[in-house]
Amino acid sequence: MPDTDQDQRKSAGSSSVGRDTTFSPKVTEGIGMPLTQSTITPMTMVRVPNHVVSRAFANETVVLNLNTGLYHSLNPTGGRMLEVLGELGSVHAAVDKLAAEYDQTVDSMRQDVYSFCVSLAEQGLVEVYHGHRRVVP
Amino acid sequence: MTLTGVRKAAARSASVLAPAAGAQRATESLSLIEKVVIVTEIMLTYCRVRWNLNRTELPPLLVRLRAGLGSLDGPANDLAGSLADRLGFIVARTLSFLPTDGPCLVNSLVLTSLLARRGIPSRLVIGVQAEPAFAAHAWVEYGHRSVLPTAEIFERLVEL
């Protein structure tokens, strides 16, 4: 299970990893569509916004949200998940790829990825879309 | 000195240590008046940065501080580099006397503004160190060379 709820460090003051350059939706804000694990489906798309940058280290991935000034730390699994989500954009495709990488069942990986997406979205580190409608946590 | 006088001085201060002043000014000592002018400019910019940093996100704040500046890219030149070095030293030294904790990000934004006012493009770089303990640092670069103190332990996270 990726560890995402690690300590947040206030900003002190290789660039981003895994930005999806193929997914450019026209955004219609999703009104009254709370983001929970149950609202994420295989058709859900995820995008790492431009104001989120990250760098992978040996034992963690550091993610900085330039808008909030907060740093976040992901364990290696979480860092890899963020990278794959950013590259592929599609939650469905990311689940398949990660399940193969970590030799896990798709069902098991799906729960982890869904939970991870919700956590990331709550911190403003990813934007979640159902079609062209953005789901705001 | 009246407030109006201070403002006028700050507006004129961009001529102190500016490329248009010539290469000689990059190294020769500043007069007392010039020192007062540039310190005033630094302090006014510092106040502006501190005010905006609590109310504005970093990327749009940088855009605002760089208003009027052209492209951030382009060939570096020795004169601008020398001036950037000197201004970096003056900013770091001036702000080190403040009783408040002088975060590197604020210093970097102040210097970025001063350089932009003189037509010198610069990059604000944020770096992080993951081990042995997490640390983050911000500094300013001109021509891929740091003009504010930094350390090799920080891995580059983003250039703005």
Query: Taking CA atoms, what residue in A is nearest to B134?
Result: A9
Residues A112-131 pLDDT 10s:
999 999 999 999 999 999 87
Residues 6+ apart with CB under 8 A from B150: B125, B127, B137, B139
Query: Taking CA atoms, what residue in B is nearest to A67?
Result: B57
Q: How far is A16 from chain B (nearest CA, A)?
A: 7
Residues B121-141 pLDDT 10s:
999 999 999 888 899 999 999
Residues 6+ apart with CB under 8 A from B40: B6, B9, B10, B13
Query: Best interface-test mutation with B: which of A10, A50, A62 has the largest number of B CBs within 10 A?
Result: A62
- For the question of whether the overall pTM of this predicted structure is more than 0.90, the answer is no
DSSP 8-state symbol, B154: S
Of the candidates A129, A37, A17, A131, the one whose C-alpha atom is nearest the C-alpha of residue A79 is: A17
Please return the burial class of B96, using the count of CB atoms within 10 Å of its CB with bins 0-12, 13-18 and 19+. exposed
Question: Token match 């058709």: residue?
Answer: A43
Residues A9-25 pLDDT 10s:
433 332 333 333 344 44
Question: Token match 């808008």: residue?
Answer: A67
Cβ distance A12 to B108 less than 8 Å, yes or no, reads no
Looking at this protein, which amino acid is placed at residue B146?
A: S
How far apart, in whole angstroms, are the C-alpha atoms of residue A14 and residue B158?
7
